[in-house]
Amino acid sequence: MSQDPGSFNPFVTHIDVSTHSNADAQRGQAMFNAPVLVLLQQLVAGQKRQNDLLEDLVQQTSAAQRQRANELGQWKQANPRLADRCRQAAEALSGVQTDFLRNLTDEVNQNAEDYLEGEFLLNEFVDRYGPRLAHLNGVLQILSQLSSVPAASNATN
């Protein structure tokens, strides 16, 4: 393959044919690099600020979680019988949830093609199972948070 003498070589971007000295070239390069350096310094400063803000956010979040855990611990100590009953209810309701999920998955497996073909049937399924599942999960979560740990309830008795 022969090259046309007038063709452009993309690998050569700049050829300096001036009579300026090497010092002039270095000054020109320094003038070009100065704004880039300033931008990089600003980026580093922004990253440091962002890291500081993230550390503050983590500290506030963990402080709120510690306070909530402390309040739950105090409530459990003040209401040990109720905390134990919450644990028992959560265990029983967990079995109900398991059975509910078994029925839900059986229904999905039996009617998956119908749900794909018809939006009406899918909406009926979601209306029938969705709210119950959401509320059941919410109740279980509350009972689990309020329940006493079995080892802790045995230690207090």
Residue 90 backbone class (left: φ over 0; alpha: ψ -120 to 50; beta: rest): alpha
What is the pLDDT confidence band of residue 157, given thresholds at 50, 70 and 90? very low
- Look at residue 156 in the predicted model and tell me its pLDDT: 46
- Look at residue 37 in the predicted model and tell me its pLDDT: 87
Q: Are the C-beta atoms of 140 and 94 separated by less than 8 Å?
A: yes
Neighbours of 16 (CB within 10 A): 9
Least confident interval from 21-25, 35-39, 61-65, 112-116:
21-25
Q: What is the pTM of this model?
A: 0.55
